[in-house]
Amino acid sequence: MKPTFKLTTAAILVAASLAACNGDSKVATETAAVKSVSQVLTAKDAEKFLASTEKELVQLNLEGSRAAWINSNFITEDTSSLAAAADQKSTEAGVRFAMAAAKFDHVEVSADQRRKLNILKQSLVMPAPQDSVKSAELAKIGAELGSMYGKGSYTTKAGETLSLGQMTAKMASSRDYNELLEMWQGWRTISPDMKPLYIRQAELGNEGAQGLGYKDLGAMWRSNYDMPADEFAKELDRLWGQVKPLYDDLHCYVRSELGETYGEDKVPQDQPIPAHLLGNMWAQSWGNIYDLVAPENADPGYDVTEQLAANNYDEIKMVKGAETFFTSLGFDALPETFWQRSLFTKPADRDVVCHASAWDLDAKDDIRIKMCIQKTGEEFSVIHHELGHNFYQRAYQNQPVYYQNSANDGFHEAIGDTIALSVTPKYLKEIGLIDTIPDESKDIGLLMKMALEKIAFIPFGLMVDQWRWKVYSGEVTPENYNTAWWELREKYQGVAAPIDRDSDAFDPGAKYHVPGGVPYSRYFLAHIQQFEFHKALCEISGNTDPIHRCSIYNNKDAGKALNTVLEMGSSKPWQEAYKVLTGSEQMNATAITDYFAPLHTWLKEKNQGKQCGF
């Protein structure tokens, strides 16, 4: 969900000291003033402030969520205006809460009060300047960017007008080099007009972050993880270093196979892979080209998309199937309002934002998903992911509003994917989608499919915010937006634009999370965390299969352990929640290398004699 100001979604949270992030004289003066005021404030004042703010937050969240939901499902000038107004109101309230919370920086309060106060200071993803005109401008820009993305379409050379969903489907299935190139270029015609708005949004967001004591908006985002901002950046690099050898071997193998398909003149074996050939509009996951790179004799004998069709799965039955996984673990079924109020298919009569998202409108039981579901195996996994958000939201509903969020934002993304890792052949047989479980000789194919989705994504998950952090710090200037974007994509992914790109093309805007203002490091974290969570839950369940064959479906012990973490919300530092499930306070990507060990051995054998690297 893209909220206005909502403590109950994965768009926010966890804190750092306000004044310590910026050493300029203005901040020093303001800090001295705050300290002077704080001398007459007490813990009792903090308790009163937090209690009254909580009531206001609940109402703001409800109003903002409703406006955002309507705008995403009925995109018009009027709904965009209403969403912008709600966004402005919430943003201004968020700034007000943050500044008021800062007055207690030097007041002796309880640990619980301090955490809540810190959360308020870190509660806005896109903080507005303390100026009502600029605040209104920032809200309007956010609504306009969202509408531009949601309404985006492309008219082909043949005169057919295609939505993003239709183009995405073609990217997934076509093997025509030129058609893929047209789809890739076509979607990117929507983003150049976003650039002036994005430049201004970055300026205003930086001004808002600086008003809260941060060097820039990127530093504010990185301060969101119960550790110093610079340490968080180093932690991401450390985790990437653990995964990179596996990614490099996957990249080498895939590039070689694509060279055989399209010719080495189109896929040079010593260069990055052309971005339009990887089966995905953003080349962020490569599962759709499995047929081009599949190992010999590794076909498990079934295709989930085909099996869904053969078993008469429509969109609702797909969602019901994902719900059953959670209820098998001991979670209560979704409320009836979920089925009445969610959006499952794209309406024929209006524009909607089709990007899959999970919503919690009232911090209680009004939970929903919004998807334009396509009846594919990939979408079946996405539904598990989105319901993971919903079950998480409901698990922490009894926490104070300040703690109605995940331990860190990667947790929210990881939970649904942790469940999806249990969608193994064993599970598919249990629910009747397949008749027999393939033997272990077919594991390489299944692991390859998983790696094309999960391992291929990890460097993309890292570089999106790497780019934005450089934008917000000023290291990357507007004239270099596009150049820097592709430099990072080549550096981390070994993926390149298939044609020369104009400096004003603004290709980052063609990815939802950039115009949507949604931080992206959470997705990188989620891809690390989900394998650790899966490994831990499998151990709790008493699993004796190899980790990649484990399914926790129908295991109440695993469900109980998972629920313990979910119910904590953000009431404790994420490291404590992590330890509850994994036994360690530090993330460790070796769970990924353990999971994919058989595939990595196979890749190394296949890559012998090949020129790897990019």
Q: Does residue 501 form part of some domain?
A: no
Within this chain, do residues 426 and 532 fall inside the same structural domain, yes or no?
yes
318 and 204 in a common domain: no
pTM score, two decimals? 0.82
Is pLDDT at 18 greater than 80 in this prediction?
Answer: no
Give the whole-angstrom CA distance, residue 219 versus residue 465. Answer: 11
CA 340 – CA 352 distance, rounded (Å):
18
State the Cα–Cα distance between residues 307 and 44, nearest whole angstrom: 61
How many angstroms separate the CA atoms of 484 and 304, rounded?
38
Least confident piece of the model among 18-27, 247-256, 342-351, 442-451: 18-27
Q: Are residues 436 and 562 in the same domain?
A: yes
Token duo for residue 49: 């402030």
Q: Kind and range of the H or E element at 95?
A: helix 77-102
Q: Among 67-76, 98-107, 321-330, 522-531, name the one with the lowest average pLDDT.
A: 98-107
| More confident position, 95 or 167 | 167
In whole angstroms, give the CA distance from residue 76 to residue 465.
Answer: 30
Residue 331 lies in a domain: yes
Whether the CB-CB separation of 167 and 187 falls below 8 Å is answered with yes
If asked whether residues 434 and 547 sit together in one domain, one would say yes
Distance in angstroms (rounded) separating the CA atoms of residues 405 and 425: 33
Class of residue 346 by CB neighbours under 10 A (exposed 0-12, middle 13-18, buried 19+): middle
Q: What is the distance between the terminal CA atoms of the chain, rounded to a whole angstrom?
A: 36
Q: Look at residue 569 and tell me if it is in a domain.
A: yes
pLDDT higher than threshold 60 for residue 155 = yes
Q: How far apart are CA 485 and CA 482, in angstroms?
A: 5
202 closest CA partner among 132, 130, 148, 129: 129
Provide the mean pLDDT of the chain. Answer: 90
Provide the pLDDT confidence category of residue 21 given band limits of 50, 70 and 90: very low
pLDDT tens sequence across 419-465: 889 988 898 899 999 889 988 888 999 899 999 999 999 999 999 99
* Nearest to 510, CA basis, from 203, 198, 234: 198
What region, left, alpha or beta, does residue 613 occupy, with left being phi > 0 and alpha being psi -120 to 50 degrees? left
Q: Is residue 599 part of a domain?
A: no
Q: Is the pLDDT reported for residue 541 higher than 90?
A: yes
Looking at the structure of the chain, the number of domains it has is 2
Q: Which domain holds residue 319?
A: 304-335+378-449+526-594
Residue of 375, 306, 310, 377 whose CA lies nearest to 346: 375
Q: Is residue 289 part of a domain?
A: no
> What's the average model confidence in pLDDT over 496-514?
95
Q: 257-301, pLDDT tens digit by residue?
A: 999 999 999 999 999 999 999 999 999 999 999 999 999 988 888
* Bridge partner list, 161: 155
Same domain as 39, residue 143: yes
In the chain, % of residues over pLDDT 90: 74
The arithmetic mean of pLDDT across residues 133-138, rounded, is 92
The pLDDT value given to residue 39: 59
- Whether residue 93 is predicted with pLDDT greater than 50 in this model: the reply is yes
Of 437, 447, 434, nearest to 307 by C-alpha is 434
- Looking at residue 23, its pLDDT comes to 35
Give the distance, in angstroms, between the CA of residue 75 and the centroid of all CA atoms in the same chain.
23
Catalytic residue annotation: 355-356, 385-386, 389, 413, 513, 523
pLDDT at 570 over 50: yes
Q: What's the whole-number mean pLDDT along residues 130-151?
A: 91
Same domain, 204 and 325: no
The sign of the torsion formed by the CA atoms of 19, 23, 26, 32 equals positive
Residue 71 lies in a domain: yes
Within a domain: 118: yes
At how many degrees (to 10) do helices 521-540 and 229-262 cross? 90
256 domain-assigned: no
* 102-106, 150-154, 502-506, 604-608: the lowest-pLDDT one: 102-106
- Supply the pLDDT for residue 7: 40
Q: Quick one: average pLDDT of 497-507?
A: 94
Count of CB atoms situated within 10 Å of the CB of 336: 9
